[in-house]
Structure 1
Amino acid sequence: MKEKLTIKDIAELADVSTATVSRVMSGKDKVKEETREHVLKIIAQHGYELQKRSQLSDQESKTILVCVTELKNPFNVPIFDGIQNSAKKNGYDVLILQTKDIYMDFSDFESVLKSQRFVGVIFVSTLNQHQLRDITDQLSHRTPIVLCSEFIEDSNVPYVGINDLDAMHKATNYLLSVGRKNIYFINSQLNRNYARKREQGFRLAMSQAGLSINEDYIVRLSSVTHALAYAATLHILDQNPRPDAILCVSDMFAIGALKACQKRNLRVPEDVAIVGFDNIEITTMVQPSITTIEQPSYQIGYQASELLIEKIHFPSVSPKQIILDTELIIRDSTPININKGGI
């Protein structure tokens, strides 16, 4: 009787990474001959069945699975639009799965893929880096996968995203250019690639300006909600010295920070400048409107779908990694640098 082993099991038995096992099984990437033979021997010894993905015909599945952590995050809406428009143009349907804390490891996604026939999977800002690496290593040999927004830099999995370090470096430099030096930084957890890179961009800009960072002014919140940012900002505004600027890795955080400043009767941007990240629609609706980094969200989703469809039709194509440009959108929550202009 065949053993029901996962790629992770085979990797542990062979004392190699899951990525190496995946490459051996797919036969598409180079692996040292000695390693390849060793892995194949382990597979044979334990009766693990190699199941190569067969090309789907037009009469079979035409549905793409899109996995996203949280549907309520407004940043994801234009990404979904981009994915859907690309998919529709190419004759595919899209099904969105909210993963939250329900789908956390390989077996969860394997179960979903077995219960439905999907032609490929797009992961949108979902899971932390460890989970994402483990799952994609094991799933990538079974079905085409593309990472969208949150990605693994050293992976063979195609992805579309932005240069988070450069974007936050740009935002920090703008605050410095308008005379703000005592900057409060609201971040997500560092198990996310974007959170690590954006904090690196902030630290780099401060270091290059010869400024020290008050580590008490860096807060890392467990989820992207304005309520958490509101509570955290109320606390920091009561400290002495008070920050003269608040830099956020999400517009949702920036909105929470703005509400906290208003609660403390502080003027924005005169007393405290605020910068967000993403350029979601609500940043233009609040008063004052929020300066932010614009991500090309629609294009991120559209390109992710295009990469996936390319992988579906041409399985042997080399994985592509696409990094799109960002733009600093200057609004009323920051002073205008007359040398740089503003909107």
Structure 2
Amino acid sequence: DELRNALTEFDAPVVVQGQEEPNFHRVVMNDLQAGTVVGEFAASLHPQNTLLLKIDETMDWDIGHDRFLNIRKKLSTSKVTVVDSKFSIAEAKVAAQQAMQSQNFDLIIGATDRITIGALQAGLATGQNAQYIGFGRSDLSTTVTPNLTSFEYDFYQTGKKIYELFCTVRDTNPSNTIRTVLDGELVVRDSTEK
């Protein structure tokens, strides 16, 4: 709230990236589309027991809610366990290990690549025979073994869109807020191949 108030009072153009803030011009990722694509792909793997590691919705609605809404719908034939995590690899590993103490999962989906990598570490430590899917576009997804299947956003294009929107806001001072939505794509790698 403090940041929101400070930005409202700031006497300069403001563009927000990655957060659905209706009072500000913004560039956001299409997390509903991402969840649909990942959910359809996940369902095609025919999992029996899926672990979803998400972020608390009150911390980040788009990542914690929108990203997982359609995944849950598409995985209606799988048993699904949902666990809240934090954004760090270490905290995700702990959250995943706690869930893995009492269950074996054949599919694990993390809200970000970092969270999924934490789950991958936990899975290796607990002997899980699972497939893994993340979200992002980080070097980490191609650094870990197996390379991580991930729904990826083009952050270079995102930066361009932020700059273009900033210039529009600066030069035209629009009366209505402008919302730009960017889609991404699923990149399938070794972590979903058995």
Structure 2 length as normaliser, TM-score?
A: 0.89
Could you tell me which residue of structure 2 aligns to residue 139 of structure 1? 9
- Shift in Å at residue 288 of structure 1? 0.4
Q: 2:113: which partner in 1?
A: 251
1:234 aligned partner: 97
Asked if the contact 2:48–2:77 (Cα under 8 Å) also holds between the matched residues in 1, the reply is yes
Query: What is the identity, as a one-letter code, of the residue corresponding to 1:139?
Result: E
Q: For 1:171, give the aligned amino acid.
A: V
Give the match for residue 327 of structure 1.
Answer: 185
Q: 1:262 aligns with which of 107, 124, 127?
A: 124
Q: What is the SS of the residue equivalent to 2:177? A: coil
Displacement after TM superposition at 1:232 (Å): 1.2
Q: Is the 1:294–1:329 contact (alpha carbons within 8 Å) kept by the matching residues of 2?
A: yes
Match of 1:77 in 2: none
Q: 1:84-123 maps to which residues of 2 (within 5 A)? A: 105-106=2-3
1 or 2, which has the higher strand percentage? 2
> How high is the sequence identity, in percent, across the aligned residues?
23
8 A contact 2:150–2:186 mirrored in 1: yes
Which residue in 1 is equivalent to 2:38?
A: 171
- The amino acid that maps onto 2:54 is N
Instruction: Work out the CA distance in 2 between the residues paired with 1:181 and 1:296.
Output: 32
Distance 1:264 1:322, change over 3 A: same
Q: Is the 8 A contact 1:311 1:317 kept in 2?
A: no
CA contact 1:164–1:201 (8 Å) conserved in 2: no
CA distance in 2, matches of 1:167, 1:151: 15
Aligned mates of 1:139, 1:151 — CA distance in 2: 19
In structure 1, give the amino acid aligned to 2:158: I
Check the 8 A contact 1:230/1:256 in 2, yes or no: yes
Q: List per-residue Cα deviations over 1:222-281 (Å, max 9, x = no partner).
A: x310001111111212213x2211111100001111111111233xxxx20100100211
Unpaired runs of 5+ in structure 1? 1-103, 107-131, 337-343
**Secondary structure of 1:275 counterpart:** strand
User: Counterpart in 2 of 1:341?
Assistant: none
Provide Cα deviations, 1:91-117, integer angstroms capped at 9, x if missing partner: xxxxxxxxxxxxx615xxxxxxxxxxx
Distance 1:227 1:304 in 2: 31
Residue identity in the other structure for 1:231: V
* Deviation string, structure 1 residues 96-150 (Cα, Å, up to 9, x no partner): xxxxxxxx615xxxxxxxxxxxxxxxxxxxxxxxxx4x555x336x321111012
Amino acid at match of 1:190: E
1:186 aligns with 2:53: yes
State the match for 1:315 in structure 2: 173
Instruction: Decide which of 160, 168, 192 is 1:302's aligned counterpart.
Output: 160
Q: Which runs of 5+ in 2 are unaligned?
A: none
d(CA) in 1 for partners of 2:74, 2:99: 22
Aligned length in residues? 192
Alignment-mate amino acid for residue 193 of structure 1: W
Q: Which has the larger radius of gyration?
A: 1
Residue 220 (structure 1) aligns with: 84
Greater mean deviation of Cα atoms: 195-204 or 311-320: 311-320
Q: Which has the higher contact order (CA 8 A, sep 6+)?
A: 2
Task: Say if 2:56 is the partner of 1:197.
Answer: no
Task: State the alpha-carbon separation in 2 of the partners of residues 226 and 316 from structure 1.
Answer: 41
1: CA distance, partners of 2:51 / 2:61:
20
How far is 1:295 from its partner?
A: 0.8
